[in-house]
Amino acid sequence: MDLKKQYITRQRRALLAFLSQRPEQLFSAEELMLALGQQGENVGLATVYRNLDKMVSQDMLARIIPSDGSGAKYEYLETRALPDSHYHMVCEECGRILHINCSRLAQLADHIESDHDFVLDSRRTILYGRCRQCAKKPQ
Amino acid sequence: MDLKKQYITRQRRALLAFLSQRPEQLFSAEELMLALGQQGENVGLATVYRNLDKMVSQDMLARIIPSDGSGAKYEYLETRALPDSHYHMVCEECGRILHINCSRLAQLADHIESDHDFVLDSRRTILYGRCRQCAKKPQ
DNA sequence: TTGCGTGCAAAGGTTTTGCATGGCA
DNA sequence: TGCCATGCAAAACCTTTGCACGCAA
């Protein structure tokens, strides 16, 4: 699937340039279309979706699906070579997205792989919960 | 929010009975409507959604959102009192949903809470990766 | 009797698809 | 020149909402 011919189009180049300049930031497909449009790079929404799909399957982007059902968001992945680089934590209350890069998580991944026969994917796994500010508030 | 009056209707009773008899099994809203219909309990899809939403906010059900964007699935939660009871692991390749109940995960949750100021929610957090069978296969 | 719950249909938002055209290699 | 990529609009999905009616308490 990676062996197929693939053209480098103006639209694909613009999309990748935009995202790669904003690592660790999340954008919806529509936000990307609008942002590119403001740069003078008009790209159809369907084209944005088609390119995002390809980039996700090529591990260039992460697709994050919020639990509130608001639609997928996409993030550029710089560290393509490092599998356990970081995980995402999403606050269920305020929607804030935090990054965590901790050896305890890597240890847990090792444990789950050796003792539970499951290979974790840090790119797609999202830890849901409550951030510091929201955890303080009463339910 | 839990203080509001709430009627026990035929539809709500049928839905809860169906799900509570099938713990650790996941169903979409449409699957639930069809399954109830086959039992002679006709329930409108909108009603299914409205009841599921309430039950999730009352912590009776977990709402699982697969990363493939196929729509939410719901699961009955038996252990309403135990916050860290178990996590879900979803295989990205075959879609299998596994349960993991391991003290290492509880330890990790404690660590993240004390050192990273984030309170994990085991109900909404899904660990993505590859199951034993799929991990063996070549990419 | 009160007012929450239901059913239906319509609307809403997000994502995919068909098809003719465009453009990279 | 071949054929993948694009744009537009329509369709496909999943979910929510408005409204009149039903029904539990």
CATH number of the domain that residue A58 is part of: 1.10.10.10
Q: Do B58 and B91 sit in the same domain of this protein?
A: no
Asked if B135 has any chain A CB less than 8 Å from its own CB, the reply is: yes
Of A63, A125, A131, the CB nearest to B127: A125
Residue B138 banded pLDDT, cuts 50, 70, 90: low
Q: What is the per-residue pLDDT across A34-93, written as a single tens digit (0 to 9) for each?
A: 999 999 999 999 999 999 999 998 889 988 887 677 889 999 987 654 555 688 888 877
Closest nucleotide to residue B28 (Cα to C1')? D14
Let me know whether B31 and B96 are in one domain.
Answer: no
Strand D bases within 7 angstroms of protein beta carbons: 3-10, 13-18, 23-25
Q: Is A121 on the interface with B (CB under 8 A)?
A: yes
Is B45 in contact with B30 (CB distance < 8 Å)?
yes
Chain A interface, best mutation among B96, B128, B137, B139, by max A CB count within 10 A: B128
Last-in-domain residue among A29, A51, A80:
A80
Chain B residues within an 8 Å CB radius of A115: 102
Mark whether B89 and B138 lie in a shared domain: yes
A131 and A90 in a single domain? The answer is yes
Is there a contact between A130 and B108 if contact means CB atoms under 8 Å apart?
Answer: no
Same domain, A88 and A72: no
Note the pLDDT tens digit of each residue in B71-124: 899 999 876 545 556 888 888 776 677 888 899 999 999 999 999 999 998 877
Same domain, yes or no: B21 and B69 = yes
Nearest neighbour of A117 by CB, restricted to B117, B121, B132: B132
B63, B80, B97 - which closes a domain: B80
Instruction: Please tell me if residue A110 touches chain B, with a CB cutoff of 8 Å.
Output: no
Residue B126 and residue B98 share a domain = yes
Round and report the angstrom distance from CA (A110) to C1' (D13): 38
Return the residue matching tokens 């508030």.
A137
Residue in this structure with the two tokens 């169903």, named with its chain if needed: B27
C-beta atoms of B132 and A111 within 8 A: no
- In angstroms, the CA A10 to CA A8 distance is 7
Paired residues of B130 in beta bridges? A119
| In the block, residue with structure tokens 């660590």 | B111
The tally of domains found in chain A comes to 2
As a dihedral over the C-alpha atoms of residue A116, residue A119, residue A123, residue A128, rounded to 10 degrees, the angle is -10
Q: What is the mean pLDDT of residues B38-65?
A: 94
Residue A46: φ, ψ to 5°: -60, -35
**Selection from A71, A77, A76 nearest residue A95 by Cα:** A71
Residues of A in contact with B72 (CB under 8 A): 69
Q: How far is CA B112 from CA A5, A13, A84, A103, A109, in A?
A: 44, 38, 17, 11, 15
* C-beta separation of B58 from A139 below 8 A: no
Final residue in a domain of this structure, among A80, A105, A126 = A80
Q: Are residues A53 and A101 in the same domain?
A: no
Same-domain check for residues A56 and A22: yes
A17 touches strand C (CB under 7 A): no
B82/B11 Cα distance (integer angstroms): 28
Domain shared by A69 and A86, yes or no: no
Q: Which nucleotide is nearest to B12 (CA to C1')?
A: C5
Rounded to two decimals, what is the model's pTM? 0.80
Does B113 lie in the same domain as B53? Answer: no
Q: Which domain holds residue B14?
A: 1-80
For the CA of A76 and the C1' of D7, the distance in angstroms is 25
> Do B96 and B133 have their domain in common?
yes
Write the residue in B63, B65, B121 that is nearest to A129 by C-beta.
Answer: B121
Q: Say if residue A130's pLDDT is above 50.
A: yes
Average pLDDT, chain A: 86
Confidence at residue A1, expressed as pLDDT on a 0 to 100 scale = 42
Give the length of chain B.
Answer: 139
Residue B127's domain is classified under what CATH number?
3.30.1490.190
